[in-house]
C-alpha cells in the first residue's frame, strides 16, 4: 500500500496497518495503525490496562520483524516488508531495528562486552580490536564505561537494562549513520523509582533530534517505541500514547492529553479505580 514519497524527511520509518496475528489460538491482535515518524512524533508509548494478554509485546515483535503478521502489512520506509525481517534483507539494510526485551535477555554465560558485541562477532568480519572499540562506545553512551568484563549476574537490574540498550544500538562502521528505530518492551519494569528515572532519561537522551540530520557517527536513535504500563515512563520518556485494551486501540493522543481525555478506560487506568470498564477476574 505504501505510496512513494519524494521527500525522505516525510517518509514514515515504520508503519503497521491492520495487522492481525493469532498465537497458540489465544489472542488475536488488531492494530489499525502504528507508526514511527522521525519528524512528527519522536517517540511512541504503548499503554495497556493489564499485566499481560493485551498484545503489546506481540505488537513490538510484529513491527520488529520477529513475527510475521497473518493479515495486514508492515512497511519500512514506505515499502511493504515480506514476512520476517530476516526474509527481506534489502529492507533490513535500509532501517536498523533494535529490540530491548523486557528482562534484558542477556546471555548469562557471556560477559557484558560479549553480549553487547554479539551481533558484530556473529555477522561482521570486523577485527576483535575494532569490535571492542565499538562495544566500549555503546556502553559509554548508556553510562556504563568499563564494565565489559562483568557477567550479567554481577549487574543490578538497572544496569542490565542499560546493557540491553547498548546491545540494541550497537552498529558496525558500514551502518554507523543508518536510520534506527529502537523498541523497548517494559524498560522500567521491576525497577525502583530512581532507577526508572535513570532509564527514562537515558531513553530520551539517546534520541537524535530531527534537526541533527544524523550528523556524526552513531549519532543517536531516529525514533523509538516504548511498551509500558508505568505512569512515570509515559510521562518522562514518550511524546505520544497509544492505549490498548483487549487487543485494540481505544485511545491515542499526545502525553499532554492523557490527563484530560474523557475516555473511560484511560480515566480508570490513570486513577487506579476499581470502578469502570476494566475488569479483573
Dihedrals phi, psi of 18, to nearest 5 degrees: 50, 45
Cα 138 to Cα 191: distance, rounded to the nearest angstrom: 22
- Give me the residues paired with residue 114 across strands: none
pLDDT at 114: 95
CA-closest candidate to residue 191, choices 234, 159, 236: 159
User: How does DSSP classify residue 186?
Assistant: S
- Give me the residues paired with residue 227 across strands: 46, 185
pLDDT at 88: 76
Residues 6 or more apart in contact with residue 250 via CB below 8 angstroms = 243, 244, 263, 265, 266
CA separation (Å) from 245 to 31, 36, 120, 249, 253?
A: 11, 21, 38, 6, 15
**pLDDT band of 1, cuts 50, 70, 90:** very low
CA-closest candidate to residue 75, choices 117, 148, 16: 16
CA-closest candidate to residue 66, choices 105, 33, 117: 105
Per-residue pLDDT of 148-187, as tens digits, reads 999 999 998 889 999 999 998 888 877 777 778 888 988 8
Cα 180 to Cα 222: distance, rounded to the nearest angstrom: 5
CA dihedral 118, 181, 236, 33 (to 10 degrees): -130
Does residue 61 come out as left (phi exceeding 0), alpha (psi in the -120 to 50 range) or beta?
alpha
Mean of the per-residue pLDDT values of the chain: 77
Neighbours of 18 (CB within 10 A): 13
Query: pTM of the entire structure?
Result: 0.79
**pLDDT band of 52, cuts 50, 70, 90:** low
Dihedrals phi, psi of 114, to nearest 5 degrees: -70, -35
pLDDT at 116: 94
pLDDT at 135: 94
Residues 6 or more apart in contact with residue 3 via CB below 8 angstroms = 78
Per-residue pLDDT of 192-220, as tens digits, reads 899 889 889 888 888 764 444 443 334 56
* 62-75 residues labelled b (16+ CB within 10 A) or e (exposed): bbbbebbbeebebb
Per-residue pLDDT of 92-105, as tens digits, reads 777 788 888 877 78
Cα 13 to Cα 38: distance, rounded to the nearest angstrom: 7
Higher pLDDT, 34 or 136: 136
pLDDT at 47: 56
Amino acid at each position: 500500500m505504501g505510496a512513494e514519497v519524494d521527500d525522505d524527511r516525510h517518509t514514515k520509518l515504520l508503519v503497521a496497518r491492520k495487522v492481525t496475528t493469532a498465537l497458540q489460538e489465544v489472542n488475536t491482535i488488531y492494530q489499525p495503525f502504528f507508526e514511527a515518524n522521525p519528524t512528527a512524533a519522536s517517540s511512541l508509548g504503548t499503554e495497556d490496562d493489564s499485566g499481560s494478554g493485551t498484545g503489546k509485546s506481540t505488537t513490538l515483535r510484529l513491527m520488529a520483524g520477529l513475527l510475521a503478521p497473518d493479515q495486514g502489512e508492515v512497511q519500512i520506509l514506505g515499502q511493504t516488508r515480506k514476512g520476517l525481517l530476516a526474509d527481506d534483507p534489502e529492507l533490513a539494510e535500509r532501517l536498523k531495528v533494535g529490540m530491548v526485551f523486557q528482562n534484558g535477555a542477556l546471555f548469562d554465560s557471556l560477559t557484558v562486552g560479549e553480549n553487547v558485541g554479539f551481533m558484530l562477532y556473529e555477522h561482521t568480519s570486523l577485527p576483535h580490536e575494532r569490535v571492542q572499540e565499538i562495544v566500549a562506545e555503546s556502553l559509554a553512551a548508556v553510562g556504563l564505561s568499563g564494565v565489559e568484563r562483568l557477567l550479567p549476574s554481577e549487574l543490578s537490574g538497572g544496569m542490565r537494562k542499560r546493557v540491553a540498550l547498548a546491545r540494541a544500538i550497537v552498529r558496525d562502521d558500514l551502518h554507523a549513520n543508518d536510520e534506527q528505530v529502537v523498541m523497548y518492551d517494559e524498560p522500567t519494569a521491576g525497577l525502583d523509582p530512581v532507577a526508572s528515572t535513570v532509564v527514562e532519561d537515558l531513553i530520551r537522551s539517546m534520541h537524535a533530534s530531527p534537526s541533527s540530520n544524523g550528523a556524526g557517527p552513531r549519532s543517536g536513535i531516529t525514533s523509538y517505541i516504548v511498551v509500558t504500563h508505568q505512569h512515570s515512563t509515559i510521562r518522562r520518556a514518550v511524546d505520544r500514547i497509544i492505549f490498548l485494551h483487549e487487543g485494540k486501540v481505544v485511545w491515542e493522543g499526545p502525553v499532554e492529553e492523557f490527563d484530560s481525555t474523557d475516555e473511560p478506560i484511560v480515566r480508570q487506568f490513570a486513577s487506579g479505580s476499581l470502578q469502570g470498564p476494566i475488569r479483573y477476574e
